Amino acid sequence: MPLLTPDIPYGSPAFALSDDQIATVLDLVCRGADEARADVTPGMLEVPTTMIVRKAMRRVKKALNFTNLQIRGEHELEDMSTTDPTILGRIDITLQFLHQFGDEDAYVAVECKRVRADDATLNGSYVANGVDRFVTGQYAAGHEWGFMLGYVLSLPVEDIVGYIDTRLRKIYGDPAGLVSEPPHPTSMAVLGSTVMQGGHHPLRLKHIFVEMLVAA
């Protein structure tokens, strides 16, 4: 079980994450999704599914007595340089570790999308309305890490991963392609990629695919 480091060395950037913290995000996301699946109903859309997953993640966090991070609800992004009240976007799940408390721009972003084998619409949205928001800097601007969570609605997951990998490489280049990583015990697949945010800042993405198959 991944353990949280008690402190981050003084002076570390607020956007930085240690290996233990990355492993902790992965663990909480996967265990939360696994626990949430029992409460997901057939045909449930992305937003209510994510609400159930987020609540389950909080229960897991409480059970593990993790006190140096917080799991927040849907995070609204605002342009702080103007008085314009327009919301720039909403990230599905955000976490903050102790070294990020007090800085609203420092968080761990988890964007959630439904995916399904042979469904170009859903799988395309994973890229166009998920990954692309990290690439443009709409989400996690200047951060080192971002997370994508794919709710797998039908199998095989390899077909979903293959489609998304092809799209990422075509749009953002080969470095954005998916690279297999050791899976979590409750995940279907975990992969990594690197995208250039704003054309110059490398952002590492961890793609987590979890089972959300629900019997009708």
Q: What is the pLDDT of residues 138-161, one digit of tens each?
A: 999 999 999 999 999 999 999 999
Alpha carbons 18 and 35: distance in angstroms, whole number? 26
Q: Identify the pLDDT of residue 103.
A: 86
Q: What is the pLDDT averaged over residues 158-182?
A: 97
Eight-class DSSP state of 131? I
Alpha carbons 213 and 110: distance in angstroms, whole number? 20
Q: What is the pLDDT of residues 22-46, one digit of tens each?
A: 999 999 999 999 999 999 999 999 9
Q: To the nearest 10°, report the CA torsion of 90, 176, 118, 30.
A: -60
Which region among 50-54, 116-120, 199-203 has the lowest average model confidence (pLDDT)?
A: 199-203
Q: Identify the pLDDT of residue 81.
A: 43
19-211 domain in CATH 3.30.450?
Answer: no
Which region among 23-27, 82-86, 180-184 has the lowest average model confidence (pLDDT)?
A: 82-86
> Domain spans of the chain?
19-211
Alpha carbons 134 and 198: distance in angstroms, whole number? 9
Alpha carbons 33 and 212: distance in angstroms, whole number? 8
- Residues 6 or more apart whose Cβ sits within 8 Å of residue 205: 131, 134, 145, 146, 147, 148, 192, 193, 194, 195
Q: What is the pLDDT of residues 108-139, one digit of tens each?
A: 999 999 999 999 999 999 999 999 999 999 99
